[in-house]
């Protein structure tokens, strides 16, 4: 399964290197940075020093300008947010959530991403709303602040263990999941974002959504679509519905 770590607007170069090291220790190698604070952060000396042997992760890492670009090919998105958001995804502890996600009776994601917000202000609500779950690491209630790289290490460990961990000989072990038959292809997060944008535009056009007072309609729709685990064909159908709503409204206005 594809596993991606995404750092959004990271402000400390050392944390980028620390996350790369945390990933390599647990056998993951897909790192994407969204609009980091510093240019050439992957080549900064502090980044390389903190990576401490994980230079190959930095060499392979990508820098993109938007979260939507970073989520291409991902079907399941996990926020790391200690504070639950109204109308956002459910908040769960990593261990219990990973066990449920990989249960034999569940459809296994084709790609999973862990999102980490800026060290200065965490994750934006709009980014959390795009996720299927908000993972909250159980910490001391009197002091729950975790360094970015430390949080990444905890999640990388929990995810690796959920996948089966490593055997005594150092080889990757895989959890004994029951076969589910033919895998159902899910639309990735980029396709779902396009669907949400299309529906938002259409709902405004037909007067169902007031852009000046949107309340929480779009985050609620986002969660509905996330739970539905839509296929690309279903996304195409729903976008067709949105297109037809606007077309019918235009004809009505002409009449």
Q: Using the Cα atoms of residue 26, residue 173, residue 4 and residue 112 in order, give the sign of their dihedral.
A: negative
pLDDT per residue over 182-238, tens digit each? Answer: 456 788 888 888 898 898 888 988 888 888 887 788 888 888 888 888 888 888 899
pTM listed for this prediction: 0.75
Angle at 223 between CA 221 and CA 227, to 5 degrees: 120
- Tens of pLDDT, residues 25-66: 999 999 999 999 988 999 999 999 999 999 999 999 999 999
Contacts with 240 (C-beta within 8 Å, 6 or more apart), sequence order: none
Cβ-based neighbours of 90, under 8 Å, separated by 6 or more: 133, 134
Q: How many CB atoms lie within 10 A of CB 130?
A: 23
Please name which of 28, 33, 180 lies closest in space to residue 111, comparing C-alpha atoms.
28
**Going from the N-terminus, what domains does the chain have, and what CATH number goes with each?**
2-163 (3.40.1280.10), 189-254 (1.10.8)
Average pLDDT over residues 108-126: 89
Highest-scoring range by mean pLDDT, 5-9, 222-226, 240-244: 5-9
Closest-CA residue to 229 (of 131, 111, 113, 107): 107
């Amino acid at each position: 399964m594809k596993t991606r770590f995404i750092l959004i607007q990271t402000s400390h170069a050392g944390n980028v290197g620390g996350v790369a090291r945390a990933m390599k220790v647990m056998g993951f190698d897909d790192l994407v940075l969204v609009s980091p604070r510093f240019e050439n952060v992957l080549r900064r000396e502090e980044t390389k020093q903190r990576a401490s042997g994980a230079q190959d992760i930095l060499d392979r890492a990508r820098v993109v300008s938007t979260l939507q670009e970073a989520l291409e090919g991902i079907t399941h998105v996990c926020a790391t947010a200690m504070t639950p958001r109204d109308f956002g995804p459910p908040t769960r502890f990593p261990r219990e959530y990973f066990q449920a996600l990989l249960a034999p009776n569940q459809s296994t994601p084709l790609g999973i991403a862990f999102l980490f917000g800026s060290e200065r202000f965490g994750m934006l609500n709009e980014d959390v709303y795009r996720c299927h779950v908000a993972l909250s690491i159980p910490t001391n209630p009197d002091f729950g602040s975790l360094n970015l790289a430390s949080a990444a290490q905890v999640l990388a460990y929990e995810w690796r263990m959920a996948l089966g961990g490593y055997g005594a000989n150092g080889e990757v072990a895989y959890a004994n999941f029951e076969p589910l038959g033919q895998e159902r292809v899910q639309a990735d997060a980029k396709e779902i974002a396009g669907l949400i944008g299309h529906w938002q535009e259409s709902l405004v056009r037909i007067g169902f959504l007031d852009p000046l007072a949107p309340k929480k309609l779009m985050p609620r729709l986002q969660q509905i679509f996330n739970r539905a685990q839509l296929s690309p064909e279903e996304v195409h159908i729903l976008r067709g519905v949105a297109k037809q709503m606007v077309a019918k409204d235009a004809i009505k206005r002409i009449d």
